[in-house]
Amino acid sequence: MMSMNKTPRSNRTHIGLFGRRNVGKSSVINALTNQNISLVSDQLGTTTDPVFKSMEILPLGPVVLIDTAGIDDVGELGELRVSRTYDVINKTDIGLVIFDVNQDEFTDELNLIKEFKKRKKQYLLIANKLDTVDKEIEYADIFKKDKIHFVSASSKKGIEELKEAIGKTLQIEEDKFRIVGDLINPGDIIVLVTPIDKAAPKGRLILPQQQTIRDILESDAIAVVTKEHELRETLDKLGTKPKLVITDSQAFLKVSADVPKDITLTSFSILFARNKGDLLELVKGAKAIDNLESGDKILVSEGCTHHRQSDDIGTVKIPRWLRQYTGKDFNFVYSAGYSFPKEMDDVKLVIHCGACMLNKSEMMYRIEQVKDMNIPIVNYGVLISYVQGIFERALEPFPLAKMIYDEE
């Protein structure tokens, strides 16, 4: 079970380190963390696959450092490693593009920078091994207006300045990862309806539930957790009206019937759609359901792999609910993991999971991908509340999303 005192990986700032083989990416990680956590060797290609390391770095706070394979790797396996390195860009909040201060050719670095710009990702340029030259070198004719940060990972010269530059570039805000905290006040009572999920290991709440509880507690509000069948009794025994009820999407219909209309109600999935992605775009995706035709291909995509249950939400429940809502039969295809299928031309709708295991950068990249293909996208929770006829109520805390829903 995730510790309530530990920041989940998906909520940490993701910092990717990119560059050629042997430019000192792993050494920079060790210097940033002040620990020998990455293997360092003079041999080319020591790091072969992306390595994710969750750390606490002052003044940046909880981060994930991603050590990647060299962008100049060669051979069939090398090309695969480079491809995986480029995939890491999707997960990063900021990339550190590292090169050797002694090198005089920069094609690989310039191609990498183009990719960062194309994917709208922030990056910093790092000239490593400053201890091997007499003075800083001028790179303006190569990297134009990009500032170069000179460091020596071995002597740690320039490392503290690099940390400050990362922080300034990210403009890290305390409320960056608020799930519900901006909607409530200290002392408010928040009721969380959490059916026992068969996909969660015995005795555990699933991750979105844990994270929401923590956010409520950090807001000095009161979290009351109950199951859907005990909700009405819970509300009666409270003796005071809660500020907000948050429910698992799969229990939304019953919960909506049990929660009085003067109490605001929403779902974990809608909160996370706003927290992890673009709620406005997902609302547009929900409305696109009404335009689907029989036989249309629908991609159901999950950000992680898990053991599917007999009543799995993605493969069983959502197809059933869509058939019931539309009266039509569709061609459902499925994907799980880091990327969408290569062939997306005839997909009419993407239905994505709640992305509890993805960080915001990766989820936003996925949304942008399908937007570029002119394919609407919706997530599980938004879809469920839409087809069950309770979407309007679930959007009450979010006026902009509600306005898009109300548009003809």
For the cut 80, the answer to whether the pLDDT of residue 253 exceeds it is yes
**Are 268 and 248 in contact, with CB atoms under 8 Å apart?**
yes
Interatomic CA distance for residues 273 and 208, integer angstroms: 11
- The continuous run of DSSP H or E covering 322 comes out as helix 318-326
Q: By the 8 A CB rule, do 167 and 198 touch?
A: no
- Per-chain mean pLDDT for the chain: 87
Q: Where do runs of H (alpha helix) occur along 89-174?
A: 107-118, 140-143, 159-170
Q: How confident is the model over 110-139, as pLDDT tens digits?
A: 999 999 999 889 999 999 999 999 888 888
Per-residue pLDDT tens over the stretch 138-175? 888 899 889 999 999 999 999 999 999 998 888 754 44
Is it true that 9-170 and 287-406 share their CATH fold? yes
Does the 287-406 domain belong in CATH 3.20.20.70? no
Tell which wins on pLDDT, 303 or 84.
Answer: 84
Which residue ranges make up each domain of the chain? 9-170, 181-270, 287-406
Fold of 9-170: Rossmann fold (3.40.50)
Topology classification of domain 181-270: Rossmann fold (3.40.50)
Rg (CA), the chain: 24
Give the list of residues 6+ apart from residue 333 with CB closer than 8 angstroms, or none. Answer: 297, 298, 299, 300, 341, 347
| pLDDT tens string 195-243 | 876 555 555 677 788 889 999 999 999 999 999 999 999 999 998 999 9
